[in-house]
Structure 1
Amino acid sequence: MSVRIALHNRPGSFSDRWAMSCQQHGVDHEMVDCYDTDIIARLEGFDALLWHFDHRSATDLLMARHVLTSAQRMGLVVFPDMATNWHFDDKVAQKYLLEAVEAPIVPTWAFFDKGRAIEWLRTADYPLVSKLRRGAGSFNVRLVRSFEQAKAHTQISFGRGYRAVPSYFADAGTKLRHVSDMKDFWGKLKRMPGLVSRFRHARHLMGLERGYVLFQKFVPNNLYDTRVTVVGDRAWAFTRDVRRGDFRASGSGDVNYDLDRICPETVQIAFEVTQRLKAQSVAFDFVQDERGVFYVLEISYGYVSSAIHECPG
């Protein structure tokens, strides 16, 4: 029985290897544009739709889930399906979901009323980690060391709000640190105008994050976090070193594939939680407390695939 697969083409995403795999295995496939207004009609006759939509694209976040869910309702197999994608790039949603499936999430608190938030903060243990719903690579993640800092953050969150998308230059130090040679440097420099323009466009469309606060317990003394990615019955794991003079590892770019760093317990937890989530693919970020207990910080269906390709697995 032949299968016909629709692939949304986004260069640099999972679609590159999807197309390559389809060609290698003789699978009938076609590149489609899921932004087309008649995309639902165009999907007639297909058996599956694969779309690696992007948290940095305001358009993707606006409508990708609608198209994927509608295609799933039509009877197509889709990736990511609803169980996999509905909480993507939403740390508030992940808090409730991980609690519901009894995953070992680091203690997390969400408030949607400024008064209740400030009342709770008066007796909270500091430091705390504040996060916004959206953002990757440790953007929008801050260490709050006192009630005064937490209150100021809360005032902004329920006032003018925060930009969900940072400027292109927000993490310039990390970008420069990982330039391999002059050729790489000039390549990044040539791409900069287009990237800056896309960042500005995203900042304009995505607006502000406000009307809530999200705090997590600070788990200190981690030299690195552990990223475990589950796809079906396979898992890949690596660690990411904490940035120098910082507490954050995500986005540092300092990936380490030393298997001696990987505790099998994190892989077991990742498999178990993925089954409870009924998800197709999940990447987990783990940290460990002083007792040796592992906690999940957050999850995502989307990740940098090149890091997985280099992983011994």
Structure 2
Amino acid sequence: MIRIAVHPDHHTVMGNLHQSFSDHWMEVGNRMGIRVEPVNAYEHDFFKTIKQYDAFLWRYAGRDEKEWASRLLPSVSQGLGIPVFPSTETIWHSGDKISGQMLLKTAGVPTPIDWWFFQYSDARKFCEEAEFPVVFKLRSGAGKSENVTLIRDKATCKKFVDIMFTCGMESIWEVSGSKIKTKTRSLVNSFKETMGRSRSRQIQKGYAYFQEFLPGNSGDVRLQIIGSKVFAFRRQNRTNDFRASGSGNIDYEPEEIGADLATFGWRASRAIGMPFCSLDVIFDGGEPKVIEINYSYVAEAVRRCPGYWDFSCDGEWVAENIGPEAYTLEEFIRLNFPRVWDQLVTAHNHCNGS
């Protein structure tokens, strides 16, 4: 039987909610008869230790952990040939909205029109020619859409561009009409404060990223793909806002999603080579378009789904949910160790209704 190493992860999400994938993985692994054991990814002799295992899983979170994980995980998978979660295909663009959209577009997944600029003159020209409103995004940072805002006029667009190509900003925290309040500062003060603050906070500058605004959407749909399984729920927009993330107003009825949209999400995940991902979807004249792709998500939101569409069984609806952490481990084994998986599921097959 295989041995799986996991780096212990314990995080607080949504204010005060505790989340740990590793705790669930060790519990589920024991029930399945698989040895799932904690291994510290920061230990000096990590690579010597990891050679004793068949796989390594680390549900990292935050910029500081990602910086190390983005180096460690590819070293394990490419250097040692050991399957890892998340995969290298996920690591390279994780936490970077521009890279994620580039991947979606090149893979042929429908998205809104995007404009990204790395030259000041190009960004200022866009402000002159754009049809407003447009969505402005920072490429990384805070969740709950805090780094996303709607720009309604040329003057505001120019102010954002000027900020991004001078002192930059670490977050967008208030926009009201053409009056912009941002945590801006001189380049000297920015440097001094950056040296003294936690590495998890980052001044972003030297680029501008815009996305087409698609009107008529009262919310979005979060498609959570976990291997062959697609979970989904609708998120209503915040009050007097175009953003849905963080609203807390969620509809879990599968009839409001439908199998066609679940199929869209499953096919998109295969097109980009990410069997584990979140897709945020809105509609353009009835056509689904992915506005953002994510690696991380709040497990509790997915746990509340009444079931999922199972594409190992032609997309049939399965009215059960034992939790995203357990499904992640199971699907990782199914994808990377199919013979082991066949042994584990011989007595349990959703496709034949047992």
TM-score, normalised with respect to structure 2: 0.74
Residues 276 and 261 of structure 1, relative CA distance in 2, 3 Å threshold: same
The answer to whether 1:60 aligns with 2:65 is yes
Alignment of 1:21-36 (within 5 A): 21-36=28-43
Which residue of the partner structure matches residue 93 of structure 1?
Answer: 99
Question: Secondary structure at 2:129's aligned position in 1?
Answer: coil
How far apart are 1:47 and its partner, in Å?
0.6
Paired residue for 2:85? Answer: 79
Indicate yes or no: 2:74 matched with 1:69. yes
Gaps of 5+ in 2: 11-18, 175-195, 309-354
CA offset digits 1:119-160 (Å, max 9, x no partner) = 122111100000011132101101100111111000111111
Q: Which residue of 1 aligns with 2:294?
A: 300
What is the aligned-residue identity percentage?
32
Please report how far the alpha carbon of residue 204 of structure 1 lies from its aligned counterpart in structure 2 after TM superposition.
4.7
Who wins on radius of gyration, i.e. which is larger?
Answer: 2
Show CA shifts across 1:207-256 (max 9, x none).
20110011001112211110111122111110111001111001222221
Contact (CA 8 Å) 1:225, 1:239: kept in 2 or not?
A: yes
Deviation at 1:164, TM superposition (A): 4.8
- RMSD after superposition: 1.8
Q: For structure 1, which runs of at least 5 residues remain unmatched after alignment?
A: 171-200
CA pair 121-263 structure 1, distance change in 2 beyond 3 A: farther
Q: 1:96 to 1:292 in 2, by over 3 A?
A: same
Q: Distance in 2 between matches of 1:204 and 1:70?
A: 23
Contact 2:64 2:199 in 1 (8 A): no
Query: Residue deviations 1:24-51, cap 9 Å, x none?
Result: 1121121111122332222121110000
TM-score, scaled relative to structure 1: 0.84
8 A Cα contact 2:8 2:39, kept in partner: yes
The amino acid of 2:304's aligned partner reads E
Q: Please, which of 157, 162, 168 is the counterpart of residue 150 of structure 1?
A: 157
Q: What is the identity, as a one-letter code, of the residue corresponding to 1:304?
A: V
SS of 1:122's equivalent? Answer: helix
Q: Secondary structure at the match of 1:230?
A: strand
The residue aligned with 1:226 is 221
Shift of residue 61, structure 1, vs aligned partner: 2.1
Whether the 8 Å contact between 1:6 and 1:50 is mirrored in structure 2 is yes
Alignment-derived partner of residue 7 in structure 1? 6
Bigger CA drift: 109-118 or 219-228? Answer: 219-228
With 40-49 and 156-165 compared, the bigger mean Cα shift is at 156-165
Pick from 251, 261, 281: which aligns with 2:276? 281
**CA distance in structure 1 between the partners assigned to 2:242 and 2:210 by the alignment:** 15
Whether the aligned pair in 2 keeps the contact of 1:81 and 1:280 (CA below 8 Å) is no
Aligned to 2:127: 121
In structure 2, what is the equivalent of residue 195 of structure 1? none
Aligned to 1:161: 168
Q: Distance in 2 between matches of 1:110 and 1:264?
A: 33
Q: Return the structure number with greater relative CO, CA threshold 8 A, min gap 6.
A: 1
Distance 2:216 2:249 in 1: 17
